[in-house]
Structure 1
Amino acid sequence: MSLEELLGKRSATSYAEQHRFVMGLLEAGRIKPLKRSGTNGKKPALHLEYWLVEEAPDHAAYQEELLYHTTPRIDVDYYLRHLAVYEKERAAVRAVHEFLREGSDGLLQEMSFNERSFQIWGEEKFLLQGAGKTVWKHCGFEMAELNCYRTAEPFSYYAHHRRIPQKILVVENKDTFFSMRRHLLEGARTLLGEEIGTLVYGAGKRVVSSFREFSLSAEPYMKEAANELLYFGDLDYEGIGIYENLSEALAAPWEIRPFAAAYLAMLRKGDGIVLPQTKERQNRKIAGDFFACFKAADVLAMTRILEAGRYIPQEILHMEDF
């Protein structure tokens, strides 16, 4: 702060009064001179700029609150060692205190993270997107003690039947999903010679997040271990990558394999025509798990297409092909 700002209305008083005022602040430790700012050239001289010294906060009340007015279910050790942190997080900690004191039985009922967040703090996103995790940890709890589940991204599907066992086909693109659905709705029992019980719309890369919590998002009949999961997408690096990421994301006992009949039909139909060029900036890193599901001759045909900078969209197939 400049000397002029520090003096404020006292600028109209005598210089002796101004000097006494500034020296009083210095002696009380309220300000410190910024020596490089120079002096005002008067006698006795005053510096032209000063640092304001913040008063150390009195945390005695917070210490008492933690020790004598906080439910023993909260471990207050961390906050007693970091009272400045408690001052910052106090409102959230008191909300935990009230919840545990008045409604801790609510932890017995499993619910989503956003639902639990609103239940405790009155903000549905405070737990996962705010400081909720940190506050809960500082209170001495593990995340598991919240008794919450993560909500999976919902996926769109068409259940042609719910018999078990069945084949469930995940389709990357919307047009192909609708065409296959229409084919089955019109009375067909098979797709490319395979009896498919359920079609799932993958929506491109979103399918990975949707299926990461397959055990939570799927209908009971879908989760039967006897079922077979199949995947069908574009024959390009991105489509193959989606399959491999999905395969990795699925937890045991579920596994997924390519819908071989559809990929082979794409190869046959794409033979001898000018295929579109691969889209720019595609991630070309694939592990090769996809190709392990095909015969050597078919793998060779696929890799030739990819290495030539071409691809086959799954929309090459339509109702007549199914």
Structure 2
Amino acid sequence: MKRISLDTLLRARQDLTYQEQYRYICSLLEAGQVKPVKTSRMNGKKPALYREYWIVEKKKDYGNYMEEIKYNFCPEMSVDYYLAHPEVYEKDRPYVLRLNEYLKEDRNQTEIPESWNERSFEIWNREKFLNREHGRTILKRCGIRIEVLNVYETAEPMAYYTNTRETPQNLLILENKDPFFSMRNYLMQGHIEILGTEIGTLIYGAGKRILRSFQDFDLCAEPYMIHSENTIYYFGDLDYEGIGIYENLAEKFQQRWKIRPFLPAYLAMLKKADSVHELPDTKELQNRNIGTEFFSYFDENTVRKMKDILESGRYIPQEILNTADFIPAKTYKM
């Protein structure tokens, strides 16, 4: 109930006499439209009226909706939530009815997987409704699992440069944009090796985005890229985040691909760092919870050197290397 003052109730009736105003308030009381707030005291006039009132809101009849919920939903849809919250059903009704119609009439379309946005438009004629608007809430209230709709997430397409389509070949994933462009330009000049290793394809990882984009590697990659005898390397910043990206990537896809650190590049980074006056500070808020997979590819001295840098609060960015470092004469070994 909403609290309202006597003056507000009478605002549109200021031209009436007090006796007429009194009868008007009495008519509201008799009709049950208002109730006096007895703690508000009387107004001091005769006959007296309370200074404040509760406006009584009439309870809405949801009878028609209750019948619709009970008998019109398809068997897959749960009715429990909306039977308990008919006022919410009134708001959700257009979207619930469209979902109900889809499951009744077009359920066979879910046999073919579609993206979130495609399925959303198919059901509600709004491509963002399922993933970014009210769609997931509607599904939850109807007891429908997202798996029922047979949808998949779409990642940003991978950016890559193909130097050769011959197989088997070495593919190199690069964490950052600058190394990708520099190495691409180097290969475009006619070179086939980077730091003494032949590279057929460069893939731009875009930091942590590689974890999502690589999940569709089998689907979006060219046939030569998924050849079973190919070798996939990874090269990123020598910091906690870069190592973490590699380890997450290697673990997530270990059943399908063995992804290895690109050792020549990491060794070249360490060698060149010896001549740097001061390495940059590790970026704040990095997750330092890394495992042992990355370090297992290096000898003990190299691992110690890497850990000394990390534990001192420093890191080596990929950008320490440039085109002049890619030539075979600058190949480094452990």
Q: Return the TM-score normalized by structure 2.
A: 0.86
For residue 304 of structure 1, what is the aligned residue in structure 2?
308
Q: Is the contact between residue 275 and residue 312 of structure 1 (CA under 8 Å) also seen in structure 2?
A: no
Q: Is the contact between residue 214 and residue 250 of structure 1 (CA under 8 Å) also seen in structure 2?
A: no
What is the CA-CA distance between 1:207 and the residue it aligns to? 2.4
Query: Are residue 265 (structure 1) and residue 268 (structure 2) matched?
Result: yes
Which of 220, 240, 248 matches 1:245? 248
Equivalent position SS for 2:138: helix
Closer, same or farther: CA 310–45 of 1 in aligned 2, 3 Å:
same
For residue 160 of structure 1, what is the aligned residue in structure 2?
163
Equivalent position SS for 1:285: coil
For residue 231 of structure 1, what is the aligned residue in structure 2?
234
Q: Is the contact between residue 273 and residue 279 of structure 2 (CA under 8 Å) also seen in structure 1?
A: no
Q: Is the contact between residue 36 and residue 54 of structure 2 (CA under 8 Å) also seen in structure 1?
A: yes
Q: Return the TM-score normalized by structure 1.
A: 0.88
Q: Which amino acid aligns with 2:142?
A: C
Q: Which amino acid aligns with 1:228?
A: T
**More deviation in 184-193 or 64-73?**
64-73
For residue 318 of structure 1, what is the aligned residue in structure 2?
322
Q: Is the contact between residue 243 and residue 290 of structure 2 (CA under 8 Å) also seen in structure 1?
A: no
What is the CA-CA distance between 1:69 and the residue it aligns to? 4.6
What is the CA-CA distance between 1:189 and the residue it aligns to? 2.1
Closer, same or farther: CA 221–56 of 1 in aligned 2, 3 Å:
farther
Which of 210, 213, 216 matches 2:213? 210
**More deviation in 300-309 or 262-271?**
300-309
What is the CA-CA distance between 1:268 and the residue it aligns to? 1.3
Q: Is the contact between residue 113 and residue 127 of structure 1 (CA under 8 Å) also seen in structure 2?
A: yes
For residue 188 of structure 1, what is the aligned residue in structure 2?
191
Which of 94, 97, 102 matches 2:97? 94
Distance in 1 of aligned mates of 2:207 and 2:185: 20
What is the CA-CA distance between 1:126 and the residue it aligns to? 1.0
Closer, same or farther: CA 31–224 of 1 in aligned 2, 3 Å:
farther
For residue 45 of structure 1, what is the aligned residue in structure 2?
48
Q: Is the contact between residue 238 and residue 282 of structure 1 (CA under 8 Å) also seen in structure 2?
A: no
Closer, same or farther: CA 104–288 of 1 in aligned 2, 3 Å:
closer
Q: Which amino acid aligns with 2:203?
A: V
What is the CA-CA distance between 1:296 and the residue it aligns to? 0.8
Distance in 2 of aligned mates of 1:282 and 1:231: 23
What is the CA-CA distance between 1:114 and the residue it aligns to? 0.7
User: Which segments of 5 or more consecutive residues in structure 2 lack a partner in the other structure?
Assistant: 327-334
Query: Are residue 275 (structure 1) and residue 282 (structure 2) matched?
Result: no
Distance in 1 of aligned mates of 2:5 and 2:173: 69
Distance in 1 of aligned mates of 2:38 and 2:215: 62
**More deviation in 34-43 or 266-275?**
34-43
For residue 331 of structure 2, what is the aligned residue in structure 1?
none
Equivalent position SS for 1:230: strand
What is the CA-CA distance between 1:156 and the residue it aligns to? 0.5
Spell out, residue by residue over 1:35-72, the C-alpha distance to the aligned partner (whole angstroms, 9 max, x if none). Answer: 44443222333222323222211111112323455555
**More deviation in 82-91 or 271-280?**
271-280
What is the CA-CA distance between 1:121 and the residue it aligns to? 0.8
Q: Is the contact between residue 228 and residue 256 of structure 1 (CA under 8 Å) also seen in structure 2?
A: yes
Equivalent position SS for 1:12: coil
Q: CA RMSD in A?
A: 2.5
What is the CA-CA distance between 1:184 and the residue it aligns to? 1.8
Distance in 1 of aligned mates of 2:282 and 2:188: 33
Distance in 2 of aligned mates of 1:220 and 1:52: 72
Q: Is the contact between residue 163 and residue 201 of structure 2 (CA under 8 Å) also seen in structure 1?
A: yes
Equivalent position SS for 2:207: coil
Spell out, residue by residue over 1:172-214, the C-alpha distance to the aligned partner (whole angstroms, 9 max, x if none). Answer: 1212111211222222222212222221111223323323444
Distance in 2 of aligned mates of 1:42 and 1:225: 95
For residue 3 of structure 1, what is the aligned residue in structure 2?
6
Distance in 2 of aligned mates of 1:216 and 1:54: 58
Spell out, residue by residue over 1:116-141, the C-alpha distance to the aligned partner (whole angstroms, 9 max, x if none). Answer: 10111111111111221222233343
Distance in 2 of aligned mates of 1:38 and 1:156: 75
Q: Is the contact between residue 66 and residue 80 of structure 1 (CA under 8 Å) also seen in structure 2?
A: yes
Closer, same or farther: CA 86–318 of 1 in aligned 2, 3 Å:
same
Closer, same or farther: CA 136–89 of 1 in aligned 2, 3 Å:
same
Q: Is the contact between residue 240 and residue 286 of structure 1 (CA under 8 Å) also seen in structure 2?
A: no
